[in-house]
Amino acid sequence: MRIVIDLQGAQSTGSRNRGIGRYSLALAQAIARNSDEHEVIIVLNGLFPDTIKPIRDSFNGLIPQENIYVWESSYPVHMLNSSNDWRRESAQLIREFFLVSLKPDIIYVTSLFEGGGDDAVTSIGLLNHRVPTAVTLFDLIPLIQKDKYLPSEEAKSWYFQKLDYLRNANILLSISESSRREGIEHLNISPSKVINISTASDSVFKEQEISISVAESVRDKYQLHRPFVMYTGGIDYRKNIEGLIRAFSLLPEDIKKSHQLAIVCSIQPASKSSLELLAKQQGLDLSDVVFTGYVPEEDLVNLYHLCELFVFPSFHEGFGLPALEAMACGAPVIASNSSSLPEVVGSDEALFDPSNDKAIAEKINQALTDSNFRNFLINHGREQAKKFTWDHSARKAITAFEYLHSQNSISSIPLDHSVRKKLAFFSPLPPERSGISDYSAELLPELSRYYEIEIITPHAEISDTWIRNNLPIKTVEWFTENFNYYDRTLYHLGNSIFHHHMFKLLESFPGVIVLHDFFLSGIKSYQEFYKISPHEITKELYFSHGFTAVESRFHAQNIEDAIFKYPCNFSVLETALGVISHSDFSLTLFREWYKKEPLSFWAKIPLLRKHPETKQKASARSKLGFANDDFIVCCFGRIHESKQNLALIEAWLKSSLFKDKGCYLILVGENDESDYGQRVLNAISNSNCKNQIRITGWVEHQVFNDYLAITDIAVQLRNFSRGETSAAALDCMKYGIPTIVNANGTMSELPHDSVWMLPDDFVENELIKALEFLKENPDYRFSLGKRAEETILKHHSPAKCAKQYFEAIEQSYLESQFSRNALVEEIARLEHAPTDDGEYVALASAIAKTFPDRTSARQLLVDISGLIHSKYSSSVLNFFQEVLKGFLRIPLDGYRLEPVYLQADGQGYRYARDFTMKLLNCPQGILKDEFLEFQTGDIFLCLIPDFKILAKFADALDSFKQRGMDSYLVAFDVPNASVEGLQNSNKNEVSSEEWVKIASGFNKILCASHSTERELVSLDFGAQRENVYLTEVLAFNAESTSDFLMASPKSIVDELAALLNMRL
């Protein structure tokens, strides 16, 4: 189960330093700690940048850093200003779309009532995403006491909108039994939907020794020169601070004069003045009541230990966390007898009536003067605090998530097709010579039960009678002008010219694709070489596989071999709303090539095969010129090296079948025009049995079926599988033919009891044995063929496959409702859109950062600004160009290397594509230097930066930090070059202070030499360390920078990869 946690409760200015913030962070950490097999994702709001690193640090060792995501929006967005409405509503949509894009099983919102006065953004149910949502229920105090807490219409509108969102949640996690009852009673929510998971105090709140020096320091800092009674929490009506001050003034004179009252919390000047006036009116001196203002956590712990008594006089609490913290630190605690506090404190003797000042004063006096009562409070509090742990709360929350997930599966789709949606259908169709043509012709009658289908084709002729008579046929031009007419679009894509017109259409009009061939490099190269789409294969090689593939396209000895090597399909898979393939092998290839999970919904649907109505074996033999007692071995499909036709011929010639003049080997298909095809002809010609081995050439569909009808054994072998499914092997099986295959690619997925399965790398004798055994054992032949036929009927029938098509198409479109394009469409529907273009630019930037273009692998972003801006001597430039070329040419497991540069005007980083093409001696002007897009999991390497620009625009690195990207700086000193070295040799470029500021922004510094490493370690980073990301200093194996520059580029590349901890 994937649990996505919205942790804005620990970010917002109103909550982060209060109980809500501490609760949100601590519970999220405990959920991560107790998640077991569940995956935990943390989501943060980028409008609170100063909170991101501390929160990231707090999850170190609990979840991977790449499981912490940041989303962005334009700002300001706080709700109590109506001019923010459009931005806020846009931000709400961005947030909900982003949460769903993470494919959660559960969304957990730690704090919903945020964003009234700051840029927190929370909502539930704006989208019909069907993902179960849980929310923390702290309390409903503003609802219960509207007059006190909702004085204005704006505040009331904000709060009641949040209540509407709260009602949209699937489950509420209350922090106490008291808050649970509030949810049930005041929101009329079913008790089964409100679960008390309770609360705990952080581990820092525990009994410990406080040294005399620390105690004196803390007392001096906060002007606490007498024993003191302590309160901490917020300052508002329900906290009853006024009652506490009045009660303190009622204490006996000697007690009052020997103690102080410490109000420990942030306080606004107006509130402080009001409370000071109240204290004065009650006869208290200014020194009797101390208002500390905000105190850091370390001081708060110390104050809990130093206080004589902790008092919590609230009229109403959701839980009352400070009381628990104080008990955990060993302080005697008394509290009001209202709302949740009795269950927190756990003793009636420690409670008082908060509305009675005298009762409060009497309980304070008892605790200060009765040593037995005081000891009871301390001992009871110590044991009571042990009952509350974050791990216990987290496990209760996770149990609730598990139950909710089990009751709210989002995988099932209602299969209501009573009102058929309009489907645009793209595919080759008969009479085109493509196996996909016949496949689609068999699919369409059954699929039309689920959709109103219209054929979109550039061809005037369609020979299939059923299609012509039953389905409208439209031109591509008509589709492009009327695409909104269709509800769904389906593209059948393969690696042949029959599909070339579909790729541009897919870019403009995304739909679901049927990936008949995983490798699409053939059709992509055809589009470029025949000038259908300029530079198509070059761009696709780059987009799918990076610069290594592009270089091979221009410099390999055999360009066809270079192109053949790569799938060249990532742009198609990235654009598709969903993918249908016919085997698990295609998905395996995706994971092997791209080291990630699929980008869109991916469904496996068995290749449809229509069962033959009749098998006219005798008449077919007569028609084809064979006797009834002839023994026919056939291999179906175009002759090609990947089909191992030569291996079959050679095995057949060495088998006993060759000696039987009534045995025939028929290759049913067109011969390849390559050298391999000639070798096949030569093998037949030299065999002295030309009449027994035949090549039919391309045959019409009916003739193809006739050969299937007469076959006694079929042999369908493969190597170099590229993800395609063997339709011919399934054709053999549907005719009940005992079929020999080898476990290569998709054929390995065939049921082993339905075919004769050879090893993938079989030897000749294994094939000979299979042929001879099947010929000599007719009963086994029959039973194997029968099982093959049953497999096709069970899993590959048109009716069953069409139903799976419907389910896959609908699931794809369901998930695509939450894509980046869909988000933009939703925002466009908002009312009161601004007229200022700047608003749209800011929004577009936020969306691009939140939903970056998906890349074929994680990126290793290498800053080469110094090369771009020529900031080095020619010898240094040449050295690093060679290093960069070497680095570009080595495969990095799971990463693609992308040189980048910071623009001189500071307008952000761009990809250095044109420079890199020139560096690799490839044509320039093909790939554009677009703005950099990056995401969590990418790596940033500052290899040869322009320090002058970087010093001026150091905040360009901030986004890398926020995304949790590892960042590395290569530090070296180059004499007489325009770069700041650690010996400060070029003060005119950047100062040591500027260099240190830049360096402090990186996780790690890779020193060019050990001497540089020693100098760096000796530097005092001073104030720069306040927000430093630097965690480690490493060094290349060179004693001096001169040694580094004299090393071979290859050795530098190898060391660099090792320092980055990257597998080659």
Cis bond upstream, residue 76 (ω within 30):
yes
Of 562, 4, 23, nearest to 322 by C-alpha is 23
Q: How far apart are CA 611 and CA 634, in angstroms?
A: 19
- Beta carbons of 898 and 911 less than 8 angstroms apart: yes
Give the three-state DSSP class for 833. coil
What is the token pair recorded at 467? 């299609």
Which has the higher per-residue pLDDT, 107 or 1028? 107
Q: pLDDT digits over 359-387, tens only?
A: 999 999 999 999 999 999 999 999 999 99
Cβ within 8 Å of residue 323, ≥6 positions away:
310, 312, 333, 335, 341, 344, 345
Domains contained in the chain, CATH given: 2-196 (3.40.50.2000), 212-387 (3.40.50.2000), 421-520+569-604 (3.40.50.11930), 617-796 (3.40.50.2000), 857-1059 (3.40.50.2000)
Q: What pLDDT was estimated at residue 1031?
A: 53
Is the pLDDT confidence value at 984 over 70? Answer: no
Of 1030, 871, 1038, nearest to 947 by C-alpha is 871
- The whole-angstrom distance between residue 45's C-alpha and the CA centroid of its chain comes to 16
Q: How far apart are CA 494 and CA 500, in angstroms?
A: 9
Is the pLDDT confidence value at 986 over 60? Answer: no
Cβ within 8 Å of residue 930, ≥6 positions away:
910, 911, 913
Is the pLDDT confidence value at 113 over 80? Answer: yes
Q: What pLDDT was estimated at residue 988?
A: 44
Q: What pLDDT was estimated at residue 1018?
A: 67
Q: How far apart are CA 40 and CA 43, in angstroms?
A: 10
Mean pLDDT, the chain, integer: 90
Residue in this structure with the two tokens 């339709």, named with its chain if needed: 727
With cut-offs at 50, 70 and 90, classify the pLDDT of residue 441.
very high
Q: What pLDDT was estimated at residue 499?
A: 94
Q: What is the average per-residue pLDDT within 424-448?
A: 94
Q: Is 745 left (phi over 0), alpha (psi -120 to 50) or beta?
A: left
Q: What is the average per-residue pLDDT within 411-429?
A: 80
Is the pLDDT confidence value at 1030 over 70? Answer: no
Q: What is the average per-residue pLDDT within 872-896?
A: 87
Q: pLDDT digits over 200-235, tens only?
A: 988 899 999 999 999 999 999 999 999 999 999 888
C-alpha dist (Å) from residue 882 to 165, 364, 888, 1045, 1052:
58, 78, 10, 11, 10
- Beta carbons of 132 and 171 less than 8 angstroms apart: yes
Q: What pLDDT was estimated at residue 985?
A: 36
Q: What pLDDT was estimated at residue 225?
A: 94
**Residue count of the chain:** 1064
Q: How far apart are CA 623 and CA 329, in angstroms?
A: 96
Q: E-strand spans in 844-937?
A: 858-863, 895-902, 909-911
What is the token pair recorded at 265? 């919390």
What is the token pair recorded at 756? 């004769």
Q: What pLDDT was estimated at residue 1036?
A: 81
Q: What pLDDT was estimated at residue 952?
A: 75
Residue in this structure with the two tokens 């399934």, named with its chain if needed: 730
- Beta carbons of 925 and 951 less than 8 angstroms apart: no
Q: DSSP per residue over 546-561, as a string?
A: -HHHHHHHHH-SSHHH
| pTM, entire model | 0.82
Is the pLDDT confidence value at 568 over 90? Answer: yes
- Beta carbons of 684 and 695 less than 8 angstroms apart: yes
Strand order in the sheet with 68-71: 68-71, 39-45, 2-6, 106-109, 133-137, 171-174, 194-196
Q: Classify residue 892 by its DSSP letter.
A: B
Q: What is the average per-residue pLDDT within 14-41?
A: 93
Q: What pLDDT was estimated at residue 1058?
A: 82
Q: What pLDDT was estimated at residue 1062?
A: 62
Q: DSSP per residue over 971-1006, as a string?
A: E---TTSSS--TT---TTT--HHHHHHHHTTSSEEE
Q: What pLDDT was estimated at residue 753?
A: 95
Q: How far apart are CA 932 and CA 959, in angstroms?
A: 11
* Beta pairing, strands 228-232 & 309-312: parallel
With cut-offs at 50, 70 and 90, classify the pLDDT of residue 959.
confident
With cut-offs at 50, 70 and 90, classify the pLDDT of residue 973.
low
- Beta carbons of 150 and 111 less than 8 angstroms apart: no
Q: pLDDT digits over 753-778, tens only?
A: 999 999 999 999 999 999 999 999 99
Cβ within 8 Å of residue 505, ≥6 positions away:
426, 476, 479, 480, 491
Residue in this structure with the two tokens 């009751």, named with its chain if needed: 407
Q: How far apart are CA 85 and CA 700, in angstroms?
A: 65
